[in-house]
């Protein structure tokens, strides 16, 4: 690499949930579309070492990378926008920082010294940021700081930015995302909260270079000038970020506002070509002009917080576009379904997805939903726990194994068709100990899985402790549920299908983590296609 990597920090003020992740991903997309190699990192101020131990209600979905890191869901946005895999290095929490520093202290690395927030914690933070720059893979590293400036927990991160800006004034840029609220009573946009949040950042010694302002209404040039004056930024560096119909439109809105140009000029990077966004724009056009529409039910127990299934919902958007179809997701609580009401709750759907999950709550509703899909020939897609439930349902209702279950839910079941992975039997700690990350899977030719992927070996990401119990495999296959994808090392069943059904596919892995705008996931695409056919009354079962 010729020049030193550049570091862009994205901080947030005024309010949480302003969409720092989407702004970071959009800026990265624009720089990538101009030919720069970019990666995005998220620093999270909480004390958990990773979000793997968090209930989805706390923090939404836990996203998993190829290298098996359990990470913040924003990394999903980064991959969906950039189409480049992330890794553990792209997500660091306060807990991980402190864990490393304390382990070093115990080893004696700081022998004789008092270990303090400054410089030891801030040095470790800076190390984690520069680590991505030092790989030589990236020209630009965008680091998003979780939380809001002024939070006690994020202070060491802000201090690390101050130090890096001091050490590398030409290579560091700070983009501050704020809110410009509209007061309907007076009919005005208000800039005061932004002024205060920029001042707070200044108190910590950090000057914002670019302001990105979330707003429901247009920011007039006059308002932009006013904010520039009060906040110490150039007028051209006050960027309006209006609410968009889709997150995938935000890169184009940011291009119109010239966020990429402002950033490149400030970092002294050349502006050689216009962003190449042809494919992105085609995607957006198809997204906004669907030819058809299907209703698909997402059955899960965390539906009150839609972020719990973020990657699944995005996977449907990508797969919908690939089928020129708008997928209308119906969020159905698994606890609301039972054998008696399944046809009322699920009637009229063109497809049913049963979501991943942990623990007993809602499990019988998932099983009832699967029975309905199997018996009525409604396209079915089960992910992880959803696949395991499909196995349990088949055991109970087709193989007559009364009381069949997963040992996760019922340790005493007479038919443990889903059982703990051998490697999990010695595990005592909960954090980071599941079967995590990408593993190979061999597909059988002539199956729906093979038809969708179009190749024999695939790599998919995992996050589970339980697996299909191979002692029962022969019984299942004789009755029509076959294992069509197998992990070649351990023989673990990764995919099950029912051949006689229009579309009945359960996967032990999480395909949703790998679906991107440029590469919609083949199983999502195949499932949506089956749903479109189901709506039209065409069966796809005969094809394979
Ligand atoms: N609870 C199941 C297991 O641990 C499924 C996990 C999941 O759905 N991610 O195997």
pLDDT per position as a tens digit, 351-373: 999 999 999 999 999 999 999 99
**Whole-number pLDDT of residue 175:** 98
Q: Is 466 in the pocket of ligand 1 (CB under 6 A)?
A: yes
d(CA 453, CA 443): 9
The most distant pair of C-alpha atoms in the chain lies apart, rounded to whole Å, by 76
Q: Is 371 in the pocket of ligand 1 (CB under 6 A)?
A: no
Q: Is 357 in the pocket of ligand 1 (CB under 6 A)?
A: yes
Query: For a substitution probing ligand 1, which of 392, 464, 468 has the most ligand atoms within 8 Å of its CB?
Result: 464
d(CA 155, CA 403): 53
464 Cα–ligand 1 center, Å: 4
386 Cα–ligand 1 center, Å: 9
**Whole-number pLDDT of residue 372:** 98
d(CA 236, CA 225): 9
Q: Is 369 in the pocket of ligand 1 (CB under 6 A)?
A: no
Percent with pLDDT over 70 in the chain: 98
- Cβ contacts of 428 within 8 Å, gap of 6 or more: none
Positions of the chain with pLDDT under 70: 1-2, 538-544
- Return the closest-CA partner of residue 392 out of 541, 494, 496, 531: 496
Are the CB atoms for 277 and 251 separated by under 8 Å? Answer: yes
Are the CB atoms for 531 and 502 separated by under 8 Å? Answer: no
Q: How many CB atoms lie within 10 A of CB 437?
A: 20
**Whole-number pLDDT of residue 543:** 42
CA atoms 413, 416, 418, 424: torsion sign: positive
Q: Is 408 in the pocket of ligand 1 (CB under 6 A)?
A: yes
Report helix, strand or coil for 122: helix
Query: For a substitution probing ligand 1, which of 62, 356, 469 has the most ligand atoms within 8 Å of its CB?
Result: 356
73 Cα–ligand 1 center, Å: 18
Beta bridge partners of 175: 10, 210
Extract the tokens encoding 488: 């070649």
d(CA 486, CA 499): 17
Judging by beta carbons within 10 Å of its beta carbon (0-12, 13-18, 19+), is residue 296 exposed, middle or buried?
buried
- CA distances to 243, 271, 288 from 257, in Å: 14, 16, 21
Residue nearest to atom 6 of ligand 1 (CA): 464
Quick one: which H or E segment has residue 368?
A: helix 363-376
**Whole-number pLDDT of residue 16:** 79
Q: How many CB atoms lie within 10 A of CB 290?
A: 15
Q: At what angle do helices 385-397 and 363-376 cross, to 10 degrees?
A: 70
**Whole-number pLDDT of residue 273:** 85
């Amino acid at each position: 690499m010729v020049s030193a990597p550049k570091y862009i920090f994205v901080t947030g003020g005024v309010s949480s949930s302003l969409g720092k992740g989407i702004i970071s991903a959009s800026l990265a997309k624009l720089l990538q579309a101009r030919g720069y190699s970019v990666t995005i990192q998220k620093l999270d101020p909480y004390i958990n070492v990773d979000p793997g131990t968090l209930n989805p209600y706390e923090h939404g979905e836990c996203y998993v990378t190829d290298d098996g890191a359990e990470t913040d869901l924003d990394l999903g946005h980064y991959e969906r926008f950039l189409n480049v895999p992330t890794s553990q290095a792209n997500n660091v929490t306060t807990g991980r920082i402190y864990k490393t520093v304390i382990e070093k202290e115990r080893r004696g690395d700081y022998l004789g010294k008092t270990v303090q927030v400054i410089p030891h914690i801030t040095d470790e933070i800076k190390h984690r940021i520069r680590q991505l720059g030092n790989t030589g893979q990236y020209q630009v590293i965008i680091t998003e700081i979780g939380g809001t400036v002024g939070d006690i927990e994020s202070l060491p991160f802000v201090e690390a930015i101050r130090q890096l800006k001091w050490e590398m004034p030409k290579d560091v840029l700070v983009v501050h995302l704020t809110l410009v609220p509209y007061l309907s009573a007076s009919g005005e946009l208000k800039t005061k909260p932004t002024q205060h949040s920029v001042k707070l950042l200044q108190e910590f010694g950090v000057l914002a270079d670019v302001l990105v302002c979330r707003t429901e209404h247009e920011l007039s040039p006059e308002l932009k000038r006013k904010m520039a004056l009060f906040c110490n930024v150039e007028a051209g560096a006050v960027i309006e970020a209006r609410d968009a119909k889709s997150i995938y439109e935000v890169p184009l809105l940011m291009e119109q506002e010239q966020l990429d140009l402002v950033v490149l000029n400030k970092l002294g990077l050349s502006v050689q070509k216009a962003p190449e966004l042809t494919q992105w724009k085609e995607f957006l056009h198809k997204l906004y002009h669907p030819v058809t529409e299907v209703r698909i039910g997402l059955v899960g127990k965390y539906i009150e917080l839609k972020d719990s299934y973020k990657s699944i919902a995005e996977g449907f958007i990508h797969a919908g576009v690939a089928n020129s179809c708008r997928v209308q997701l119906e969020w159905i609580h698994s606890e609301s379904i039972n054998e008696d009401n399944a046809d009322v709750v699920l009637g009229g759907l063109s497809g049913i997805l049963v979501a991943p999950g942990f623990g007993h709550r809602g499990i019988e509703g998932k099983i009832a939903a699967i029975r309905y899909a199997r018996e009525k020939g409604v396209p079915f897609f089960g992910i992880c726990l959803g696949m395991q439930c499909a196995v349990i349902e088949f055991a109970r209702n087709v193989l007559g194994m009364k009381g069949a279950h997963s040992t996760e839910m019922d340790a005493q079941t007479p038919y443990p068709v889903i059982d703990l992975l051998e490697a999990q039997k010695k595990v005592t700690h909960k954090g980071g100990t599941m079967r995590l990350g990408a593993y190979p899977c061999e597909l059988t030719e002539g199956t729906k899985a093979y038809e969708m992927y179009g190749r024999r070996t695939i790599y998919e990401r995992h996050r589970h402790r339980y697996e299909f119990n191979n002692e029962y495999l022969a019984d299942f296959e004789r009755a029509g549920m076959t294992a069509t994808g197998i992990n070649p090392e351990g023989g673990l069943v990764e995919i099950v299908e029912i051949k006689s059904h229009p579309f009945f596919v359960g996967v032990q892995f999480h395909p949703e983590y790998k679906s991107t705008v440029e590469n919609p996931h083949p199983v999502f695409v195949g499932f949506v296609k089956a749903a479109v056919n189901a709506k039209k009354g065409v069966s796809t079962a005969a094809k394979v």
